[in-house]
Structure 1
Amino acid sequence: MKRQLFSLVMIPLLLFSGSAVLAEEKSEEWHDETMYFLMTDRFMNGDPTNNAQVNNEDPSAYQGGDFKGVEDQLDYLQELGITSIVMSPVFENEAGAYHGYSVTDYSKMNEQFGSKKELQRLVKKAHELDIRVLVDFPATRVSTKHVWAGDPAKEDWFTSLSSAQEPNWLGNMAEINTANVDVQNALINVAVELADDTGIDGYFFSNASGAAPSFWTAFDEKLPALHLIGEMNDVTPEEAAAYEEAGLDSVTAAWMQEPLRKQFATVDRSSEEVKELLLKEQDVFKDPLEIIHMADSALTDRFTLDMANENMFPGARWKMALTYMYTTPGTPAVFYGSEIAQNGESGVDAHGLMNFRTDQELVDYIKQIAKLRADLPALRQGSYKPLYEKEGLSVFKREYENETLIVAINNTGETQKVTIPVDELDPEKELRGLLAGDMSRAADGEFTIILDREEAEVYALTEKTGINYAFIGAMIIVYVTFMIFLYIVWKRGKRAAGKE
């Protein structure tokens, strides 16, 4: 309670102090992005005329989400602080393959989602809201019913016409021969045409690590203006760096997902492994700030399921995990429904319909940390220096130009206290909390931070705040006026009672 009262007092003082951190204009750099991966069919039904295969009684069937529905919810995504969206595959798919990975024809759009013109309209509105749009392009495996698989002249375009996949809900798929130059050229032509026709900003190549790094070099050469992201599965940072070197602009941090989930599924777990992985990313990648960090994806169990298995409240767990992802180096990405703590095992169970009318507490918190990331260049582009790591308490420093931030995340079950030597900061300045309004000044050669259990704070190192006499005076006047008002009401009530 004392900390809450302190915050209520300090936040107005910060606003009056004239030292607030200023927001930057949106940068063209991709490491400034905050991404959102969405499954079109499960997001929003905006056009009932394309519901031919929809069966809302069967969760494994199409549910009706489409391009119009995504377009209608772009304002929601902008308010959530999202600057880029990655949409599930848009190509023609097997009947019932709502997820989009069972591609049957790259030359056709999935009619359940809409036309190219509707996708173009979506992209146009997104750009008006400063949101970039990327499309998931499955280029290494397709449906066993793909038109190429039935063409005898293209027999050498596949290494297998039916191969079991992981996760197993993908079923059997035809695996593309990515060593075949003709296949590569055909796929590049598809990518160029779709980008030219719709104005999308890039591609997310799902299962990109299923092809050799050299396979993607030609895509980079033919699509120089587009942002190309590769999904990595079961690879090390060093192996993934070869894909960045070959021409992909960014990759997903497959090595980070499991330790990140383990760390935040419950309390009192060490963050040492994730910290070391973050440091390794700084060493092995050309642009580690563009490495994409995700807690879950279209292929995984929901992260919320991990929390449920630990008998933990998912709201607090998600807050801790997302604060960490939004404030450490790299590009944070949220899989649709994470902001409402969707649950479920990999596959249909994890691909529930998005609910825009559920509890907003976590949504509001994400908006808050997204705004900090947008406003503070050090969170997007700054250096990273761990200061303290112990069984769930993580404290690190981010610096960029003249901006210094201290991030403290107490992922433990108890209130924690940590001290930072003044030589790490500046004894003539103070740390001001930007989430809860906490503050710390140097004393006896150190700054002291105290955090309640399952609480995080982002501190800005700023000039010391003097006593704001004008603000305090104004508050006194308000209180005195209010007390006079209450006294007058009381007197009138007493007189009225006396007349009766």
Structure 2
Amino acid sequence: MNPILSLSLLAVVAYVTGKNAEQWRHRTIYQIITDRFSQGTTSGNSCDLHNYCGGTFKGIENNLDYIQNMGFTAIWISPVVQNIEGGYHGYWANNFFKVNQHFGTEQDLKDLVSECHKRDIYVMVDIVLNHVGPIGTDFGQISDFNQESYYHSRCQVVDYNNQYQVEHCRLADLPDLNQENDFVSKKIMDSVVWLTNTFDIDGLRIDTIPFISKDFWAKFKKECLVGKLNDIYVVGEVLNGDIAYVAPYANILGATLNYPLYFSIKSSYGQRQSMYNIRSVLNAEPSQFKHVEHLGTFVDNHDNSRFLNDFPDVSNFKNALTFQLFSKGIPIVYYGSEQLFNGGADPYNRETLWNHFNTNSEMYNFFKILVAFRKAHIDEIVTSDHVERYISDEFYAFSRGKVFIATTNVGSSYARVQHDVTYHPYDEGTLLCDLFYPTDCVKIENGEFTVVLLHGESKVFYPKSLM
């Protein structure tokens, strides 16, 4: 082979990075606010949640056992680029080609990713392409984008139903990048390629998707994600419960966070409204989303008050998570859920995890059972449809292959929920056992079995012969 051609091919191979959506379907994601996870050990100091608290890349690396032992196979970390002071969350960039020094060095980030990959853990990084940090009109503070012409006007978004305003005005007075400008468009796409290739990133979460035009996202998908990054998996944030509004963005980029399902989860499992709300969303999504299975599902995240803040019954929280972990999509669990964190609106839902690395806690073991089982049976789960098996106002059951999930929203004070299930995927005589209590088993007799949920518990049944 021509040595020059050989070198060229090697360069191309080295340039390709990232994992695609089908690869990510086999993962369960643990979401981390980098500044709040660990200062380097399992202990640390208290802090002002409105500012930097001291979490680092090295802190995450040092505590990967804590994450991996629950069964998680991917992490999502905060935006890593340099920020205006005070941007502990990572969403106030002032240099898209440098690493935030508060989190560590470039080498620290490379070390974190390398250690994750040694453990077969994917790394997803949050990115922001809509805006920069709060600098008013002092554009000289922003590397590369140091001229007013690189931004839209100074108008503020006040009417979120006005799409032109959403795309062309400032969100929370954050200078709004003008992606119609060729220089801006190219530079922000270059920054994504730099980030992904320099640090061997596996996937991307993209902030504030609706604040940029669909035309740009189509260009970004074609020229950057497909053209330069091997169609790396991305999940975009469209904070809206309207399927018709969210789906077009997901269909361009490949996936978004499943906010329509999130709101129905909080309604049905939190507010204890009818489970038919869940069914309504599940039935509506396939006709509008090209790939429901690629959407990111969640019960909590950094943009919304925690479930337990709004609805403090832990049994309902467990039911919501049980449903989420087995429903169609790629599940994302927000850090601190395993320690029953219950913070309210931002920044109080971004608590520090240090001093709370309790691997014997009730919820840590809950995740250890469910996420580890999901990991062990992931091929069966992702290749099997979500099939509704029984529904009432207070009870929802479904299957993925031979996995049978039974949930309720009645809460811990309700003594007993009982239903006979006749629509199921099992042969006569099959013995089904609950993952949480393996001696709690029921047999298929005369084509049916009885599900009994005590004090608002959830159950996940699997044939004993396959366990």
TM-score for the superposition, normalised by structure 2: 0.82
- Summarize the Cα distance change of 1:147–1:334 in structure 2 as closer, same or farther, 3 Å threshold: farther
**Higher fraction of strand:** 1
Shift of the alpha carbon at 1:110?
Answer: 1.0
Task: Report what 2:124 is aligned to.
Answer: 134
Task: Report what 2:153 is aligned to.
Answer: 160
Residues 216-235 of structure 1 correspond to what in structure 2 (within 5 A)? 216=217, 217=221, 218-220=223-225, 221-234=227-240
Structure 2: distance between partners of 1:180 and 1:269: 47
RMSD value, Cα: 2.8
Q: Which shows bigger deviation, 201-210 or 370-379?
A: 370-379
- Could you tell me whether the CA contact under 8 Å between 2:304 and 2:345 is conserved in 1? yes
Task: Report what 1:190 is aligned to.
Answer: 191
Shift of the alpha carbon at 1:461?
Answer: 4.3
Shift of the alpha carbon at 1:317?
Answer: 2.9
Structure 1: distance between partners of 2:190 and 2:149: 19
Structure 2: distance between partners of 1:111 and 1:319: 37
Match of 2:257 among 240, 248, 252: 252
- Summarize the Cα distance change of 1:129–1:153 in structure 2 as closer, same or farther, 3 Å threshold: closer
Structure 2: distance between partners of 1:464 and 1:137: 41
Structure 2: distance between partners of 1:299 and 1:464: 40
Task: Indicate yes or no: 2:450 matched with 1:457.
Answer: no
**Higher fraction of helix:** 1
- Could you tell me whether the CA contact under 8 Å between 2:72 and 2:372 is conserved in 1? no
SS of the aligned residue for 2:388 comes to strand
Structure 1: distance between partners of 2:259 and 2:320: 16
- Summarize the Cα distance change of 1:44–1:416 in structure 2 as closer, same or farther, 3 Å threshold: same
Structure 1: distance between partners of 2:177 and 2:344: 28
Task: Report what 2:7 is aligned to.
Answer: none
Residues 39-78 of structure 1 correspond to what in structure 2 (within 5 A)? 39-46=33-40, 56-78=46-68
Q: Deviations over 1:424-477 (max 9, x none)?
A: 542243333333233222334422222212122222246699xxxxxxxxxxxx
Q: Gapped runs of 5+ residues in structure 2? A: 1-20, 161-170
Task: Indicate yes or no: 2:281 matched with 1:277.
Answer: yes
- Could you tell me whether the CA contact under 8 Å between 2:243 and 2:288 is conserved in 1? yes
SS of the aligned residue for 1:233 comes to coil
Task: Report what 2:403 is aligned to.
Answer: 405
- Summarize the Cα distance change of 1:444–1:56 in structure 2 as closer, same or farther, 3 Å threshold: closer
SS of the aligned residue for 1:121 comes to helix
SS of the aligned residue for 1:141 comes to coil
Task: Indicate yes or no: 2:176 matched with 1:175.
Answer: yes
Match of 1:115 among 95, 105, 112: 105
Structure 2: distance between partners of 1:73 and 1:366: 17
Structure 1: distance between partners of 2:215 and 2:361: 45
Q: Deviations over 1:63-108 (max 9, x none)?
A: 1101111111111111121111111111111212211111112122
Match of 1:30 among 21, 24, 42: 24
Structure 1: distance between partners of 2:380 and 2:280: 20
- Could you tell me whether the CA contact under 8 Å between 1:411 and 1:453 is conserved in 2? no
Which AA in structure 1 matches 2:270? A
Which AA in structure 2 matches 1:39? I
- Summarize the Cα distance change of 1:180–1:55 in structure 2 as closer, same or farther, 3 Å threshold: farther
Shift of the alpha carbon at 1:55?
Answer: 9.0
- Summarize the Cα distance change of 1:152–1:173 in structure 2 as closer, same or farther, 3 Å threshold: closer
Task: Indicate yes or no: 2:213 matched with 1:212.
Answer: yes
Task: Report what 2:363 is aligned to.
Answer: 362
SS of the aligned residue for 2:432 comes to strand
Match of 1:302 among 296, 306, 310: 306
Match of 2:380 among 372, 378, 391: 378
Match of 1:96 among 86, 89, 104: 86
- Summarize the Cα distance change of 1:285–1:72 in structure 2 as closer, same or farther, 3 Å threshold: same
SS of the aligned residue for 2:102 comes to coil
Task: Report what 1:351 is aligned to.
Answer: 350
- Could you tell me whether the CA contact under 8 Å between 2:293 and 2:329 is conserved in 1? yes
Shift of the alpha carbon at 1:174?
Answer: 0.9
Per chain length, whose mean CA-contact separation is higher, i.e. which structure has more relative contact order (CA < 8 Å, sep 6+)?
Answer: 2
- Could you tell me whether the CA contact under 8 Å between 2:305 and 2:349 is conserved in 1? yes
The number of residue pairs the alignment matches comes to 419
Residues 480-499 of structure 1 correspond to what in structure 2 (within 5 A)? none
- Summarize the Cα distance change of 1:388–1:110 in structure 2 as closer, same or farther, 3 Å threshold: same
Shift of the alpha carbon at 1:422?
Answer: 6.3
SS of the aligned residue for 2:458 comes to strand
Which AA in structure 1 matches 2:211? G
- Could you tell me whether the CA contact under 8 Å between 1:395 and 1:407 is conserved in 2? yes
Structure 1: distance between partners of 2:109 and 2:319: 35
- Could you tell me whether the CA contact under 8 Å between 2:113 and 2:123 is conserved in 1? yes
- Could you tell me whether the CA contact under 8 Å between 1:430 and 1:440 is conserved in 2? yes
Q: Deviations over 1:364-408 (max 9, x none)?
A: 111100012112233333111212111221111222xxxx22211
| Identical columns (%) | 26
Structure 1: distance between partners of 2:364 and 2:430: 33
Shift of the alpha carbon at 1:150?
Answer: 8.8
